[in-house]
Amino acid sequence: MAATLIDGRAAAQELKAHLVGEIDALRRHGTRPGLATIQVGDDPAASAYERRVRRLAEELDCLYHREHLPADAEQADLLASIGRCNADPRISGILVLRPLGKTHDEAEVFRSLDPAKDIEALHPKNAGLLALGTPRFVPSTPASCFHLLDRHLQRSGTEPGTFYRRSLLVVVGRSNNVGKPAVLLGMQRNATVVSCDEHTSQAGRLAELTRQADILVVAAGVPGLIGPEHLKPGAIVIDVGINPVADPVTGQTRLVGDVRSDDVRDVASALTPVPGGVGPVTDVWLLRNTLHAAQLAARRTHVQAA
């Protein structure tokens, strides 16, 4: 039986409809969420993401501000852009788009963010809160993975808490913004969690570990890394990969995941497609975090005024 496709677009529409009401409620109290993006250079994937979140912010009537620096911008220029956004009271959330230039110190960049506006939880304070299970913000992509998992389990008549407690969750990829937070979110749901990366693959143990997974989250950024030989029959597969690949026949670029979806559909019980899976939910979740940051700022202002 072919795997159920987990519809990220439908889930994103549901989230967006909920956000509209929350944003309207906040605006009635005189506050409007504001998102700033900061981009260095013109990486095609980063530019495409910027366009998507800008359109979504405008659709939801959130303030939107873009800082676009040339590819050869100095570290000081980037820190100055962040400083301007930190100081602007209209901006509640800041997204620093990757990749940065080769000369930029990412650690310093993320430390320079105002933690109250760091909606992807990359500042050490926010990363620490996430690790302790008391997050201020949950990064948008791993949050979207678990939102889709929870939604799929509920719709299939399975109680998520019970399912996680009895399941082995394997996360492939250890990035600071996706893989590591996904491990933490799985642990917070009381799943047994295994983390894999390129070193696991180089050691020849990737398939050995992924074949044990009841839930497999793949965020390696390697097109077609995971095939049927990597899956336990009936596994739920969340494919985070969004990889532009040129078609050898037409030369046109298309997006593919880290999972060979056509090959695993007869093995997995459920699968997120690429495109149309995790990506649409991630876009909306970013605005959800921006709204949450605005709500927190409004509460701080109210307390200070009192």
* End residue of a domain, out of 120, 151, 167: 120
Q: Are residues 88 and 178 in the same domain?
A: no
Q: Are residues 161 and 63 in the same domain?
A: no
Q: Are residues 150 and 270 in the same domain?
A: yes
Residue 212 lies in a domain: yes
At 39 the pLDDT is 98
Residue 293 lies in a domain: no
State the total domains in the chain: 2
Are the C-beta atoms of 146 and 189 separated by less than 8 Å? yes
CATH number of the domain encompassing residue 195:
3.40.50.720
82: containing domain: 31-120
**pLDDT string in tens for the chain (306-residue length):** 699 999 999 999 999 999 999 999 999 989 999 999 999 999 988 999 999 999 999 999 999 999 999 999 999 999 999 999 999 999 999 999 999 988 999 999 999 999 999 999 999 999 999 999 999 999 999 999 999 999 999 999 999 999 999 999 999 999 999 999 999 999 999 999 999 999 999 999 999 999 999 999 999 999 999 999 999 999 999 999 999 898 888 888 889 999 999 999 999 999 999 999 999 999 999 999 999 999 999 988 766 665
Residue 295 lies in a domain: no
Cis geometry, peptide bond prior to residue 223 (ω within 30 degrees of 0): no
Q: Are residues 166 and 108 in the same domain?
A: no
pTM for this predicted structure: 0.95
How far is the C-alpha of 243 from the C-alpha of 173, rounded, in Å? 15
- Show the tokens assigned to 64: 């939107």
Q: Are residues 187 and 73 in the same domain?
A: no
CATH number of the domain encompassing residue 39:
3.40.50.10860
Residue 37 lies in a domain: yes
Residue 201 lies in a domain: yes
Residue 299 lies in a domain: no
How far is the C-alpha of 94 from the C-alpha of 119, rounded, in Å? 6
Residue 195 lies in a domain: yes
At 303 the pLDDT is 63
How far is the C-alpha of 52 from the C-alpha of 139, rounded, in Å? 17
Q: Are residues 161 and 50 in the same domain?
A: no
Q: Are residues 194 and 262 in the same domain?
A: yes
Q: Are residues 149 and 270 in the same domain?
A: yes
Distances (CA, A) of 104 to 98, 173, 196, 302: 11, 23, 27, 38
Q: Are residues 188 and 237 in the same domain?
A: yes
How far is the C-alpha of 84 from the C-alpha of 100, rounded, in Å? 18
Q: Are residues 90 and 146 in the same domain?
A: no
Q: Are residues 145 and 259 in the same domain?
A: yes
Q: Are residues 156 and 71 in the same domain?
A: no
Are the C-beta atoms of 192 and 169 separated by less than 8 Å? yes
Residue 12 lies in a domain: no
Q: Residue 218 is inside which H or E element, if any?
A: strand 215-218
At 247 the pLDDT is 81
